[in-house]
Amino acid sequence: MNVKLIFREASKKLISDFNISAQINHSGSTGTYREGSLKRFLEDGRVPRKYSIGFGEIVGSNSDTSKQADLIFYDKENCPVIVFGESIQVFPSESVYGVIEVKSKLSKQKLIEGLENIASYKKLVPKNNSATRPFGIIFAYSLGGNSLESLEKNLKEYESKVDCDLWPNMVVVLNEGIIFHMNRLKNSLRSEEFNINTRLISIHFKEDTLFEFYLSLFDLLTNSRLGKLNLRKYKELPKQVGNHYVIGHDKFVDRGSGNVFELKEEFIEKVYNHCTSLGNIEYKQVLLLQFGSLPQGVEEKDVAYKVYYYNPDNLPGYHEVENPVRKDGDTYIMQVKSNVPSHTITIDGENFIIPRAYFNEEDMQIREGVKSKDL
């Protein structure tokens, strides 16, 4: 059996599917058709069952999201699809092996577009010693009035401006060839092998391009190792507010109207700058400042961890205020400003404790379109 001949026939089938898609006027339908053709080719017994192929977006544990990816290779056995539907799928980054950006004709513009999509994915995957780096591939059905060598020059220019960890693992043009990276006269497929001494090489495989692409993709998949997925990290994802990723700042409810409010970026930045300039303290110390002693049942070892505490005016603790609270029906109202009650928000993974007395109307803004019932 001549395996190369089988792949040459498969390549002809892909080209035929591409030509059919070119007759479809709607660009979205055309893209779906060509991506589906490559997906069907790979799923037809050519990719081991443990790998599944989807499409959509990839989300990191900091709630940053990749751009839409055409083909996403993920762990079928252990990867939950966070959101699923006919038009969109969202995958946790720890369960994704890599992506393929599929293009009709690979002009310089389409090349850069694909490179930026791949970089947006690779950026959000944290480096983990127990996991290999994800891969990103550009696969095109044809050239865009250029050559493999001109694409190599375009790629070299792009890679000179970005971190090598964000480079694509290969660029493929069907029936033309593949652009690889090389180290010491050896093809380097894995992102871990890329460095400032890595150079590019264009190899004209012509009608055997699909076969060589498949072999390289198989190598990338079978040598990939995923890290452990902690789905609890996605229970409440941080939101980017200015330069920070924040949790717990956006669920303040006005019971009367049902409106939901969030802390403004300026207030969060003020809290962050003040607290980090002073340094963190043990949570035990915060409780002592608030109540004068540890609450009943709380042991010192349970509150020995570090937090940041925002109290620039040195507001008094509950134990330092005479008659601090009055009851109005079922509601308890603080009669004087003190450091109790407080609210905790997480900024860049660190806990910041803020007395609610510091929350003023000018520091908050309404979340448009969100009501208390939506929380």
**DSSP assignment of 117-149:** HHHHHHHTS---TTSPPPEEEEEEEEESSS-HH
- Asked if residue 19 has pLDDT above 70, the reply is no
Q: Give just the sign of the alpha carbon dihedral 77, 82, 84, 90.
A: negative
Rounded mean pLDDT, 298-302: 88
Average pLDDT, the chain: 87
Query: pLDDT confidence of 27, banded at 50, 70, 90?
Result: very low
Q: What 3-state DSSP class applies to 238? A: coil
Comparing C-alpha atoms, which of 87, 86, 102 is closest to residue 14? 102
Rounded mean pLDDT, 89-94: 86
User: Tokens 């012509």 label which residue?
Assistant: 206
Beta strand pairing call for 135-143 and 170-173: parallel
Rg (CA), the chain: 27
Q: Quote the CA–CA distance of 244 and 30 in Å, as a whole number.
A: 39
- Asked if residue 237 has pLDDT above 50, the reply is yes
* pLDDT value of residue 313: 95
Comparing C-alpha atoms, which of 275, 249, 247 is closest to residue 261? 249
* Contact by Cβ (8 Å): 248, 346: yes
Query: pLDDT confidence of 333, banded at 50, 70, 90?
Result: low
* pLDDT value of residue 297: 87
Query: 58 or 26: which carries more pLDDT confidence?
Result: 58
**Spatial CB neighbours of 224, under 8 Å, sequence gap ≥ 6:** 97, 98, 132, 134, 135
Rounded mean pLDDT, 23-44: 69
* Burial tier of 81 (Cβ tally within 10 Å: 0-12, 13-18, 19+): middle
Highest-confidence range of 53-62, 128-137, 257-266, by mean pLDDT?
257-266
Bond preceding residue 341 cis, omega within 30 of 0: yes
Rounded mean pLDDT, 196-209: 94
Tokens describing residue 371 = 């009501």
Query: pLDDT confidence of 2, banded at 50, 70, 90?
Result: low
Q: Quote the CA–CA distance of 245 and 237 in Å, as a whole number.
A: 9
- The answer to which of 225-239, 240-254, 281-295 has the lowest mean pLDDT is 225-239
* Contact by Cβ (8 Å): 122, 169: no
Q: Quote the CA–CA distance of 331 and 312 in Å, as a whole number.
A: 28
How many residues comprise the chain?
375
* pLDDT value of residue 132: 93
Q: What 3-state DSSP class applies to 19? A: helix
Q: Terminal CA-to-CA distance of the chain, rounded, Å?
A: 61
Beta strand pairing call for 252-253 and 259-263: antiparallel
Phi, psi dihedral angles at 353 (to 5 degrees): -100, 125
**Spatial CB neighbours of 342, under 8 Å, sequence gap ≥ 6:** 286, 290, 353, 354, 355, 356
* Contact by Cβ (8 Å): 68, 57: yes
Long-range contacts of 187-194 (CB under 8 A, 24+ apart): 189/135, 189/216, 189/219, 189/220, 190/132, 190/133, 190/135, 190/220, 190/223, 191/122, 191/132, 191/133, 191/134, 191/135, 191/164, 191/165, 191/167, 192/132, 192/133, 194/164, 194/165, 194/167
User: Tokens 């038009």 label which residue?
Assistant: 87
- The answer to which of 49-58, 285-294, 358-367 has the lowest mean pLDDT is 49-58
Rounded mean pLDDT, 165-185: 94
Q: Quote the CA–CA distance of 262 and 364 in Å, as a whole number.
A: 5
* pLDDT value of residue 331: 65
- Asked if residue 26 has pLDDT above 50, the reply is no
pTM for the predicted model, two decimal places: 0.69
